[in-house]
Amino acid sequence: MNNLRKLTRRSIVAFAVLAIGAGAQAQPSSKPIRLVVPFGPGGVADLTARTVAQKMSESMGQPIVIDNKPGAGGVVASDTVAKAPADGLTMLLMSNGNAVSVGLFNKLPFDTVKDFAPVSMLGYFDMAVVTAANSKFKTMQDLLAYAKANPGKVNIGTINTGSTQHLAAELLKRSTGIDVQVIPFNGSPALITALRGGQVDAGVEILAPILGQLDGKALRAIATMGAKRSFALPDTPTVAESGVPGFNVASWNALAVPAKTPPEVVARLNKEANKALGSPDVKERLRTLGVEAAGSTPEQQAKVLKDEIKRWSDVIRQAGIPKQ
């Protein structure tokens, strides 16, 4: 947890410099690989991409250039890669946002399953249910018991309609049968302000933006949402441990390339990605971002994507979230 809170502006600059330096060390004749990231520079996903890309570049002797293309919930970046040549020189940083988009948008300019070839999962980052430090809800059991006894009187804040945090709160609502209102805010700062000011009873957020608040005792984590306890909050029980068996939600990142990329190219990228993720220094760097490194086979990644598409499409439909 202490490592995670060391993510400062200096850390961000260092990661970016390292990523650029990796390309400078590559063979001059090597064609660069473009890794398209559907988020702006400096965020958790961007730094995850840069960390893994640096190590892969060093091993492959080939520069990997980060191309940030935020916008439209990842659709812009994904469409760029879906339409790129299938030569292994363009990769996409996939996220659970790709799975969510299938259920959230009326129409996409690509097929999320058919137009991409999975390479490897990269890692997962935990989310937590949090309350204000002075809240009467000291545990997840407290929150659930009160919500069940007082239908409609509890509200849970999240960020942005259609975000994984928003949908995780909706899934929690349905998994427990509680009647609560889920309120999306425009970003983490607004959510934190609402929590501290008592405008919402609880919140659902990834750990990185709220750890400083937890450390400063302004907020309290009453449960994490993954299958196992978070390495950053080892003393905080999971939602599953708190009376909701089988509950498991986490954000994730992965690598993909355009469909029809030759299998031998996919296999090489998969090997290099997993090699990078197995490196102790990469694991430690990712942990400072709140990310648990987790490689996979292309087949395992494909299954995660299909399972997530079904899960979030069901949640979006059941919650009555309007399609965009």
Whether residue 30 has pLDDT greater than 90: no
Find where tokens 């970046």 sit: 77
- Model confidence pLDDT, tens digit, residues 206-218: 998 898 999 999 9
Mean pLDDT of 172-201: 95
- Model confidence pLDDT, tens digit, residues 47-103: 999 999 999 999 999 999 999 999 888 899 999 999 999 999 999 999 999 999 999
Residue 166 and residue 249 in contact, taking contact as beta carbons nearer than 8 Å: no
Of 21-30, 50-59, 292-301, least confident by mean pLDDT is: 21-30
Find where tokens 């400072």 sit: 288
Q: Give the pLDDT score at 8.
A: 38
Whether residue 26 has pLDDT greater than 80: no
- pLDDT band, very low/low/confident/very high, at 7 (cuts 50, 70, 90): very low
Whether residue 6 has pLDDT greater than 80: no
Task: Report the chain's mean pLDDT, rounded to a whole number.
Answer: 90
Residue 233 and residue 256 in contact, taking contact as beta carbons nearer than 8 Å: no
Query: How far, in Å, CA of 107 to CA of 96, rounded?
Result: 18
Q: Give the pLDDT score at 289.
A: 85
Find the distance separating the first CA and the last CA of the chain, reported in whole Å: 37
Helix, strand and coil percent figures for the chain, each rounded to 5: 45, 20, 35
Whether residue 302 has pLDDT greater than 50: yes
Q: Give the pLDDT score at 11.
A: 41
Q: Give the pLDDT score at 88.
A: 95
- pLDDT band, very low/low/confident/very high, at 18 (cuts 50, 70, 90): very low
SS3 162: coil
- Model confidence pLDDT, tens digit, residues 137-148: 999 999 999 999
Residue 200 CB coordination number (10 Å)? 22
Which residues neighbour 244 within 8 Å (Cβ) at sequence distance 6 or greater? 144, 172, 175, 176
Find where tokens 């441990």 sit: 241
Query: How far, in Å, CA of 107 to CA of 270, rounded?
Result: 30
Structure tokens at 220: 């309290």
Q: Give the pLDDT score at 75.
A: 94
H/E run at residue 149: helix 140-149
**Inter-CA distances, 246 with 99, 205, 240, Å:** 20, 19, 6
Q: Give the pLDDT score at 228.
A: 94
- Model confidence pLDDT, tens digit, residues 241-261: 999 999 999 999 999 999 999
